[in-house]
Amino acid sequence: MTILIDADACPVTRIAESIARRHGLPVILLCDTNHVLTSDYSTVRTIGAGADAVDIALINLCRAGDLVVTQDYGVAALALGKGARAIHQSGRQYTDENIDGLLMERHLAKKARRSRKHHLKGPARRTEEDDRRFAESLERMIREALDEEGKRI
């Protein structure tokens, strides 16, 4: 299992690295050329600055059993389709059961923005509670995945 992080402006990169390190799991951080990332643990891959370049590179690297950290519902849906697990930076796990609804919400929000009739608020300021929730969810997902791998061997 590899942890792949859509790292452009991702606020939980260091938390994910810390948890991955404890489990001895490799991490790949993907970012575009507008961001400069360094890590003493993860492999950093800088991808061209195209609109979806990082997303496409992440999905091309993704394999069944991997774990993807992304706030992009489309990337999460593609990762799930490849047999990977996916988690939002808020700690919400993407599943086959919730991804369709999330994609519909994204579509409706985009439609509302285009109409310019509605002003949608941005995300709330990140809190320590958000970080704790993400860490707990990621830890749980890793343990579940490792348990499943152990049962297959």
Which residues make Cβ contacts (< 8 Å) with residue 12, sequence separation at least 6? 69, 89, 131, 134
Q: Are 79 and 70 in contact (CB under 8 A)?
A: yes
The pLDDT tens digits for 91-115 are 999 998 877 767 777 656 666 667 7
Which residues make Cβ contacts (< 8 Å) with residue 25, sequence separation at least 6? 1, 2, 3, 142
Say whether 110 sits in a helix, a strand or coil.
helix
Extents of the domains making up the chain: 3-152
Predicted pLDDT of residue 121: 66
Predicted pLDDT of residue 29: 97
Q: What is the mean pLDDT of the chain?
A: 89
Task: In whole angstroms, give the CA distance from residue 29 to residue 3.
Answer: 9
- The pTM of this model reads 0.86
The pLDDT tens digits for 121-132 are 666 789 999 999
Predicted pLDDT of residue 81: 96
Q: Are 2 and 51 in contact (CB under 8 A)?
A: no
Radius of gyration of the chain (CA): 16
DSSP summary character for residue 19: H
Distances (CA, A) of 15 to 39, 55, 61, 91, 144: 12, 21, 22, 12, 18
Check whether domain 3-152 has CATH 3.40.50, yes or no: yes
Task: Read off the tokens for 14.
Answer: 């260091």
Task: Read off the tokens for 128.
Answer: 């320590």
Task: In whole angstroms, give the CA distance from residue 111 to residue 21.
Answer: 41
Parts of the chain with a pLDDT under 70 = 101, 106-113, 116-123, 152-153
